[in-house]
Each structure stands twice: as C-alpha cells, then as structure tokens.
Amino acid sequence: MRVLVSIKPVLDPSMKPRLKPEGAGIDLNQAKRIINPFDEIALEEALRLKESGKATEVVIVSVGNLQAQETLRHGLALGADRALLIQTERYCSSLMIAKILKAMVLRELPALMFLGKQAIDTDNNQVGQMLAGLLNWPQGTFISRLELQTNEIMVTRELDEGLETLKLRLPAVVTVDLRLNTPRYASLPNIVKAKQKPLTVITLESLDLSLAEPNYKIVNTSLPISSRKKIKVNSVQELIEKLKKEAKVL
C-alpha cells in the first residue's frame, strides 16, 4: 500500500519575516523554511504505518520553487522513500494546490493521502477538503487517532463538541491534528542517506492542468506594530510601583 503525503515549506516561526518592497508580500528567497508542523505529523503517521508493515512506500509531494527541495530532503531524512516537487514560481491558491495534488494522486495511485489539517502561514484549512471533493474520496479531517484495517480506516476526529469516530473506505483523504503523534528527529545517518533518495522535479506546465488565477488579490502585507514600552527598573519595589501606577494591574 502506497501512502502519499503533502508537504508544504513554511517560514520558520523563530525567524523574523522580511517583506518585499512596497508590501508586495513576504520575501522567502533567503528565508529559512521548515516543514509545516501539521504536515510533519502527517508524515510521521505515514512512516509509522510503513514501519508496522501496513504500508509499503511513503512518497512526499510539494508544490513550489526549487528551494522546496531542501524541505523535501528533510522529509526524506525523516524516512520517506522518495519525493516529488511540482516546480512553479506561481502563487497558488488552495484550489490550485488541490487540483495539482489530484493530478499527483492519479499518477501515484496511493491508498491514503495524508495532509496536515492546515498550514501555519495561511491557516486556510481548505486543501484537504477540496482534494477529497475533487477525487470524490471519503475524508477524515482533524484526526487525533487512526487505525488501519483491511480496505478501511478508522479515524477519530476532534470537534468543538467532542470526539467523532468514522470508518472510511480506502482510498481516502486524511488531514491530521496535533495530538495524533509526536514527529521524530532526523538522525545524521538518515540525513546522509537522504541525499541518495529519489527526488523528482516536475514542472507545473508539464501536468497540463487548467488552473485559473485566484479570484482574490493580496493588496498589501505589513508586519504588526508593537506598542509595548520597554522600561528598565532597578529594584523589585520600583517594579511594583510601576505596575500599580502605570500598568494598573495591582
């Protein structure tokens, strides 16, 4: 059984973002990027299925420019068997990404398609549901527990009202939540081995997809303005007085 995992490179949250001139967006050319944390959980679950003998191959796929190869190599170091990069410089909306992933699903024919429930940069929470709709596959979203059975999968979803358990026929689309597992770290030997694993670059144009431009436009991007005042105090007593008089929290 083959498992396909969607991987999105996102800006490292520990790094301060830099903006393009005139607020045209975030400059990612020299920025450090990591695997979207929810996607890393999805990859970890796919790797556990393989290690338990329930999956035979784990393939990771990403959409973006050539810089995404570094993120995919990290996924290979974690244990994925091979990687696919759909190379493009275009900005892709959620629906465009879903259509691209559909093309890769039809090419790879996995029994399970794993995605993180959302990306931490856009927080849209759309691609998994759109992909399931385009494929007409069963879907389990926000899952915190998974059990693979013969031709079926049992998933537990986290909802505002509590937990919901679903039984899905394979093939299926699954988006994962934080409590599903704890991702592993890449060991040094696996990092070295990852350089020899297959990473195939496919141009978006070669897929011959009909992708309409997004029906929205990002007008401006700006960093939040910090209104905090930094005041240095010389003693605990001075701190207490300022909390009483200026902050009025005591």
Three-state DSSP class for 101?
Answer: helix
Which pLDDT score, from 0 to 100, does residue 26 have?
Answer: 75
3-state secondary structure 6-44: ECCEEECCCCCCCECHHHCCECCCCCCEEECHHHHHHHH
Q: Pick the closest to residue 64 from 139, 141, 121 (CA basis).
A: 121
Mean pLDDT of all residues in 113-127: 91
* Residue 109 Cα distances to 27, 71, 134, angstroms: 35, 23, 15
- Indicate the number of domains in the chain: 1
Tell me if 32 is assigned to some domain.
yes
What one-letter code names the amino acid at 122? T
Tell me if 244 is assigned to some domain.
no
Reported confidence tier of residue 16, pLDDT bands at 50, 70, 90: confident
Q: Pick the closest to residue 158 from 169, 172, 145, 174 (CA basis).
A: 145
Question: Is pTM beyond 0.75 here?
Answer: yes
Please, are residues 87 and 64 in contact by the beta-carbon 8 Å criterion? yes
Which pLDDT score, from 0 to 100, does residue 5 have?
Answer: 97
Tell me if 155 is assigned to some domain.
yes
Tell me if 196 is assigned to some domain.
yes
Tell me if 214 is assigned to some domain.
yes
Please state, in angstroms and rounded to a whole number, the distance separating the CA atoms of residues 4 and 104: 9
Three-state DSSP class for 86?
Answer: strand
For residue 167, what is the domain's CATH number? 3.40.50.620
What is the extent of the structural domain holding 201?
Answer: 2-225
Three-state DSSP class for 98?
Answer: helix
Where is average pLDDT lowest: 35-44, 175-184, 208-217?
A: 208-217
Residue 250 reports pLDDT greater than 70: no
Q: Please, which residues bridge with residue 62 across strands?
A: 85
Tell which wins on pLDDT, 183 or 161: 183
Tell me if 135 is assigned to some domain.
yes
Q: Please, which residues bridge with residue 82 across strands?
A: 59
Give tens-digit pLDDT for 56-115: 999 999 999 998 999 999 999 999 999 999 999 888 889 999 999 999 999 999 999 999
Residue 199 reports pLDDT greater than 70: yes
What one-letter code names the amino acid at 32? K
Where is average pLDDT lowest: 122-136, 153-167, 223-237?
A: 223-237
Tell me if 246 is assigned to some domain.
no
Which pLDDT score, from 0 to 100, does residue 23 have?
Answer: 67
Please, what sign has the CA dihedral across residues 78, 79, 80, 81?
Answer: positive
- At residue 237, what are phi and psi to the nearest 5 degrees? -60, -40
Where is average pLDDT lowest: 16-25, 51-60, 145-154?
A: 16-25
Secondary structure percentages of the chain, helix, strand, coil, to 5: 30, 30, 40
Tell me if 230 is assigned to some domain.
no
